[in-house]
Amino acid sequence: MAQEAFRADIEKGYTFEAPSFVLGGAMLGEETLTNTLVRIPLGTLNRHGLIAGATGTGKTKTLQIIAEQLSREGVPSLLMDIKGDLSGIAVASGGHPKIDERHAAIGIPFTAAGSPVELLSLSEEPGARLRATVLEFGPVLFSKMLDLNDTQSGIIAVTFKYAEDNDLPLLDLKDLRKVLQYLSNEGKEEVEQEYGRISTASVGAIMRRVVELEGQGAEKFFGERSFEVEDLTRIDELGRGIVSIVRLTDVQDRSKLFSTFMLQLLAEIYATFPEEGDLDRPKLVVFIDEAHLIFEEATDALLDQLEAIIKLIRSKGVGLIFVTQNPADIPSDILGQLGLKVQHALRAFTAKDRRAIKLASENYPLSDYYNIDQTLTELGTGEAFVTALDRKGRPTPLVRTMLRAPESRMDILTDREIKELVAHSPLVRKYNETVDRESAYEILEAKMARAREAEQKEVIAAQREQAEKTTTSRRRTTEKSMFDRIMSNTTTRQIGRTVARELTRGLLGVLGISSTRRRRRR
């Protein structure tokens, strides 16, 4: 009797007129009730979701299942592949007797199929490069990313404004550093007249934050060619949504870069996508694996910005699904925004673990059929508690679910398969071309070089003028010194007296006055 009531409640709660897909079969106790299917409505996936559970309970496979079912329904998705184990979604499963057994218990056939996949990369991993310019971040988001105070944020705002007013493109971090250096040194007088005084100490603090960001590899992310988010919403020739996988295996220890990338991407999607209203299926679903990496290093300002975007982005037809070990990894304000919840098993090894399980059980609707906190520790691999939202925004009944198996391969692609995938990618050809056009760094370098050249010419001219003055002064001094030496010489004086005497005698002779007459007069 209880089983019939349970079956009726599940069929009522998980039957939808709008498009949906089968996630698995309902379980009561340890028994899977064949043909009592748990469906997920596509129309409410823009209300976001959570996949949680301890290590080894099947979170990644659940992500894989949902992504490939969305692809079959024509919904593109973006997957953050932190561990590097999602690329197998591109290849059809090889099948297995246990998979057939599982699907027979659920009541649906198993069909092996791969999904169309595009590999993306933030670093040196194979795939189309994801980049954005500093200018695209804007001063507000950039300041929040660096956790700057009001004074420092004001300097960033002035930097962006000065760059805009003087046609200085801020493309990468070296552009930003060059403008900051210029405003605090050579251009200090200029900027103070136009925008006000800039503190050199505050500029130094900002520069240190930028260097820290560069230390996490951000210089590879900032620059051109900028990634166009519309390329995430592509459909293949068979009408399947493209599954874009961002390979992040080499950024696990650079959480600030990861959170920066995620926030900018979501902000760009929000700014670019048009308002959609209520759609029968989302335009894009973004899966954020190892979501705690975003939140553990994010500043309060960054979290506030992320929360705001999560609230607003669903109106653009975009859903976000966070994948993590424990719901407590997600800030409560964000956790409250998540409609779909797929909770795998949690393990209780300590008193703290038991308290965490008790707290996690309170995130789900009450149930007449399960002792939730106890069942959370009893779920097997590939089983989960599931609840979603119906079209009216009401939570569906909490149900223990035997999840269907992925239709694609449950391991990673080989290096050869990855190379072949990348070789046929139109996005690799589009975004992997290196573009380094003239920007703020080069323009200011040229300006400063011209200023240094002009200053050097002035110095040389001043030195030449001074040299000429010194030469003239020395010549005059030399001529005067020679005359003085001649006139002070004894021989010169004797010759002078003799010459004077003879001149006098000659003059008197001309006048007809003899020396004898001169003597007589005496």
d(CA 315, CA 475) in angstroms, rounded, equals 88
Q: 517 versus 3: which is more confidently predicted?
A: 3
Q: Which residue has the higher pLDDT, 485 or 459?
A: 459
- In angstroms, the Cα distances linking 96 to 34, 63, 103, 389 are 20, 20, 11, 33
55 pLDDT tier (thresholds 50, 70, 90): confident
456 has a pLDDT exceeding 80: no
pLDDT for the residue numbered 517:
46
pLDDT bracket for residue 23 (50, 70, 90): very high
The Cα 28–Cα 370 span in angstroms is 8
Closest CA to 81 of 117, 134, 132: 117
Alpha carbons 480 and 37: distance in angstroms, whole number: 117
Between residues 443 and 453, the one the model is more confident about: 443
Identify the pLDDT of residue 520.
46
Closest to 145 (Cα-Cα) out of 248, 222, 220, 249:
222
From 83-87, 130-134, 256-260, 492-496, the region with the lowest mean pLDDT: 492-496
In degrees and rounded to multiples of 5, residue 232 shows phi and psi of -85, -10
Q: What is the longest distance spanned by two Cα atoms in the chain? A: 176
pLDDT of residue 147: 82
- In angstroms, the CA 255 to CA 247 distance is 14
Residues 184-211 pLDDT 10s: 888 788 888 888 888 888 989 999 988 8
Strand order in the sheet with 284-288: 31-41, 20-28, 399-403, 383-387, 340-343, 49-52, 318-324, 284-288, 77-81, 243-247, 117-121, 128-129
Please give the pLDDT value at position 9: 93
CATH topology of domain 2-130+225-431: Rossmann fold (3.40.50)
**8 Å CB contact between 257 and 28:** no
User: What pLDDT is stored for residue 450 in this prediction?
Assistant: 66
pLDDT of residue 75: 96
Q: Is-cis flag, bond preceding 131, omega within 30?
A: no
Q: Which of 22-31, 247-256, 274-283 reaches the highest mean pLDDT?
A: 22-31
Look at residue 65 and give its three-state secondary structure: helix
Name the percent of the chain lying above pLDDT 90: 35
Residue 457 has pLDDT above 70, yes or no: no
> What is the pLDDT of the chain when averaged over all its residues?
84
Q: Give the 3-state secondary structure of 266-282.
A: HHHHHHHCCCCCCCCCC
- pLDDT of the residue at 518: 46
Question: Which contiguous run of DSSP H or E holds residue 487?
Answer: helix 440-488
**Range with the poorest average pLDDT among 100-109, 217-226, 414-423, 512-521:** 512-521
For 325-370, how does the pLDDT look when each residue is reduced to its tens digit (9 = 90+)?
Answer: 888 888 888 888 899 999 999 987 888 888 888 888 888 888 889 9
Q: CA 347 to CA 354: how far, in whole Å? A: 8
Q: What is the band of 522 on the pLDDT scale with cuts at 50, 70, 90?
A: very low
Decide if pLDDT at 506 tops 60.
Answer: no
Phi, psi of 55 (to 5 degrees): -60, 130
Query: pLDDT class for 137, splitting at 50, 70, 90?
Result: confident
CA-based end-to-end distance of the chain:
172
Using CB atoms within 10 Å of the CB of residue 142, give its burial: 0 to 12 exposed, 13 to 18 middle, 19+ buried: buried
Report which DSSP code applies to 350. S
Query: What pLDDT is stored for residue 211 in this prediction?
Result: 87
Phi-psi region of 381 (alpha: psi -120 to 50; beta: other; left: phi over 0): beta
Determine the Cα–Cα distance for residues 438 and 448; give it in Å rounded to an integer: 15
Tokens 């919904």 identify what position? 75
Give the model confidence (pLDDT) of 138-178 as tens digits. 888 888 778 888 899 999 998 999 888 888 888 888 888 88
